[in-house]
Amino acid sequence: MHRHYSLDVTAPLLRTQGYVDGRWVSAASVFPVLDPATGKEITRVADCGPAEAKQAVDAAYKAFHSWKQCTAKERSILLRKWFDLLTLHKEDLAKLITFESGKPLREAVGEITYAASFLEWFSEEARRVYGDIVPSPIKDRKILLLKQPVGVASIITPWNFPSAMITRKVGAALAAGCTVVVKPAEDTPLSALALAELAEQAGIPAGVFNVVPCSREKTPSVGEVLCTDPLVAKISFTGSTATGKVLLKMAADTVKKASMELGGHAPFIVFDSADVDKAVAGAMGSKFRNSGQTCVCSNRFLVQSGIHDRFMEKLGQAMDAELRVGHGLEPETTQGPLINTRAAEKVAHQVSDAVSKGAKVLKGGKRLDGSFMEPTLLANVSTEMLCMKEETFGPLLPVIRFDTEEEALAIANASNVGLAGYCYSQDVSQIWRVAEALEVGIVGINEGLLSTPEASFGGVKQSGLGCEGSKHGIKEYLEVKYMCFGGLKP
């Protein structure tokens, strides 16, 4: 990356301080935010610590007592205003994503549309939090089940979708009547702070939405406050399974409600009856979106023997024709950098491990400058290789040849995580069998791009707890209170 790229966004959207109780706050120190494509510093952001995190929790707790008294309609209107502002500023918000995460600009614009859609969806769901009146077995009593917000929610989000992972959680929380403290990933704090600016413009009251950015060094101490403070009732985290386990242990002492969207290792199964062109298109979208850095990315490709060679040939042709590596601002770029050099090193290590165990590199395979990695296609892959055992989070597409449906399912389910899985077939009976047998929370049938606010998003096994999006997402921020109204005259 020898060309100079500069971040040009509307001044109020480029915020570098924390946002606590409706005020922009500085910290004792700052930390740099880097463009992963060039390694150059974009700006420096307040490095909030435990003290700022505690202030944010206290502010959220204070605001909760008034926010929960707002009517559902009032909360709905404010969320809709926030949605409108995201839509209005989507180009600038997308540039922030491209610069701090490396995501190609076209995809970044798509993320803002996706992020905004959760505010729209939950602005509507806010008015559909229904309780129940239950028939009583005793004549002088009435049984009511009320839905009430749980309280302050700590929201800890990843770098790969720096806007959408916030709105998917916060939209539900605010719709339910909860208040939040957001700790964005240290790589991508600018998107979170821009959302705070727009929340303020939308009229979200002080203390309802707080953001405490911090460096990698401060993350453990800030995370500890957000997961152990008695005033926090709920934590919601998206990230690795290992980190999720640490947060759950910290939250256990005060028995906090928790939802976790953790690691995935998605199988992508192509059966002999599949439409090859559709399967190739699905593989390209599922694998190479965001350079392979999504939690529902296909990681393990299983292709049946009868269609294997044709699939591999067409997939290689599609990779040559469609994939272009470069800075996210370049219009032709489809593959930006990985988030940092450690991520690129991990992919390169998986490639070398696979080759040492007999895999053949058909496309790519090389580590490029900085955080860039060539999109890579591997054949002759076996289950003993690292790429089949651990999540890649990069543009590596390993293909295993299989013979029977039973064999494919055994390989697909041989994982301790289960977020997403994909199946390409035109045999309806097979589709039902495989969809029900896959040990995952999300299944794509002849479709490689799944996410939408109307549908639930969550995994099984060690891929997490609870779900986000859909009518079920708001339930993660509610508790049920049983009210028995007795002494009534029949």
Which amino acids are annotated catalytic? 261, 295
Q: Which H or E element spans position 111?
A: helix 105-125
Report the interhelical angle of 189-202 vs 72-88 (nearest 10°): 120
Query: Cα–chain-centroid distance for residue 266?
Result: 15
Rounded CA separation 295/419 (Å): 8
CB within 8 Å of 450: residues ≥ 6 apart: 296, 420, 442, 444
Task: Compute CA distances 203 → 81, 186, 199, 208, 214, whole Å.
Answer: 8, 27, 6, 10, 26
CB within 8 Å of 114: residues ≥ 6 apart: 161, 164, 451, 453
The encoded tokens of residue 383 equal: 């289950």
Beta bridge partners of 269: 302, 423
The encoded tokens of residue 174 equal: 């605010």
Rounded CA separation 167/121 (Å): 10
- Contact call for residues 179 and 207 (beta carbons, < 8 A): yes
- Contact call for residues 284 and 322 (beta carbons, < 8 A): yes
Eight-class DSSP state of 295: T
